[in-house]
Amino acid sequence: MAEVIVVGAGPVGLLLGALLRGSGVDVQILEQRSEGSGASRAIGVHAPVLTALEGSGLTAGLLEQAVRVTRGEARAQGELLGVVRFDRLSTRFPFVATLPQSGTEAVFAQAAAAPQRGVSVGAVRTCPGHVELETSHGDRRAPVVVLAGGPRSRELVYRSAQAHTYPDRYLMTDVLISDDLVPDRPVLGGQTSQDQLPEHSAAHTALVHLEPGGVLESFPLPEGRRRLVAWDSAGAAQHPAREDPAAQRDRLQRRLAAHGQELTGEVSSFGVRRFVAPALRQGRLLVIGDAAHEVSPIGGQGMNLGLLDAATLAPLLASWVNTGTAPEAALREWEQARLRSARRAARLAALNTRLGRPLPSAGDTARRTGVRLMLGPGAGKAFAHAYAMGLDTASRGSAGKA
């Protein structure tokens, strides 16, 4: 019998499995999907995660593949509204590391036990001394079980697990932009910064363009590619199941064509939901990642929240397994801290979502004025701290320590 069962082999479940395995814990990972998705969804890994994982060696693996984004720029109608300077933050890693989610998962998978795939969990029972799982491949049990299977795990434990669904929808694609240092491509590829230094070039700059018709975002990726995300007016007006992929592609192509960019890659769409669980623990059963909290992906904090759940929980579970005694006080503190972080991230993500919506002329003018103030001298550093997840409780140095 495994000492810990982790349900879910996404980035959060794989990370927890890797950290527990590195601490000598016999851990089993169960995954409903028969193979990894291969999709590139979340792309940014923030400084608190990099700091938390440095001692395990996983940070080095991530940075071998990642682009280091040192700044972000907010623009509107060709005008620079403000700059977020990650490189001026007092942190061990003054940047956002960007790489496809599949790359992040691959780094964690190398350090974790191979997941048992094609195993779905239908029910969970907490019993004296262990937790039982009803699965598609028979019952499983372990002294400790952690649900990290995303929203599909949520209904196993929470009676009222309904997430709030926002009306917003977005279109997303990855493109190769070969001339992203050319000044006349400020939206997608960016301009050279005012600093005129290579580390502040477009290759290391994220761009958020606030257009009257909705936000258009551009983030650097490895190999000269960029992730483009655009608010989708037509998508927001219809049910996701009825969306026409060809129509989606046409709408995104029109948005990109206005900036001289051809759409070459696949197009996907996503919506926005918000959920924060009332609790993360019931005895020997714990819940982390998107199973426990779901925030708007605009701002790039959702995956990082889950990774910090795993990084801060792993040493507590290792202590529990090795001593045979649950560190009750530390687990209560962990639960309270992670819920506080989730609520803060949800509020910031909601603000990002509202800022990116279409606005009439007067509202758009007010938005530009507000963003200038938000990212101006003094306030700009505070927002950089927030966007780099400096408000997360794990950023205070406790991550990864027992």
- From first to last of its 402 residues, the chain has per-residue pLDDT tens of 899 999 999 999 999 999 999 999 999 999 999 887 666 689 999 999 999 999 999 999 999 999 999 999 999 988 899 999 999 998 999 999 999 999 999 999 999 999 999 999 999 999 999 999 999 999 999 999 999 999 989 989 998 778 999 999 999 999 987 543 233 444 454 444 444 444 456 789 999 999 999 999 999 999 989 999 999 987 766 666 677 889 999 999 999 888 888 888 899 999 999 999 999 999 999 999 999 999 999 888 999 999 999 999 999 999 999 999 999 999 999 999 999 999 999 999 999 999 999 999 999 999 999 999 999 887 888 888 998 999 899 986 533 333
**In a 3-state reduction of DSSP, which class is residue 235?**
helix
Beta strands in 32-94 (DSSP E): 44-45, 67-69, 71-76, 79-85
What whole-number distance in Å separates Cα of residue 325 and Cα of residue 310?
20
pLDDT at 191: 44
- Is residue 121 classed exposed, middle or buried when 0-12, 13-18 and 19+ CB atoms within 10 A define those classes? buried
Report how far apart, in Å, the C-alpha atoms of 25 and of each of 130, 154, 193, 311, 332 are: 16, 25, 48, 15, 22
Contact criterion met (CB below 8 Å) for 295 and 40: no
Residues 4-396: name the CATH superfamily. FAD/NAD(P)-binding domain (3.50.50.60)
pLDDT at 239: 64
**Domain locations along the chain:** 4-396
Q: Read off the pTM.
A: 0.91
pLDDT at 187: 44
**In a 3-state reduction of DSSP, which class is residue 33?**
coil
| Residue 61, token pair as written in the block | 């693996």
Best CA proximity match to 232, nearest among 208, 253, 260: 253
Contacts of 202 (CB under 8 A, 6+ apart): 180, 181, 189, 190, 191, 192, 220
pLDDT at 113: 95
pLDDT at 186: 46
**In a 3-state reduction of DSSP, which class is residue 209?**
strand
Q: 393: which DSSP letter?
A: G
pLDDT at 377: 82
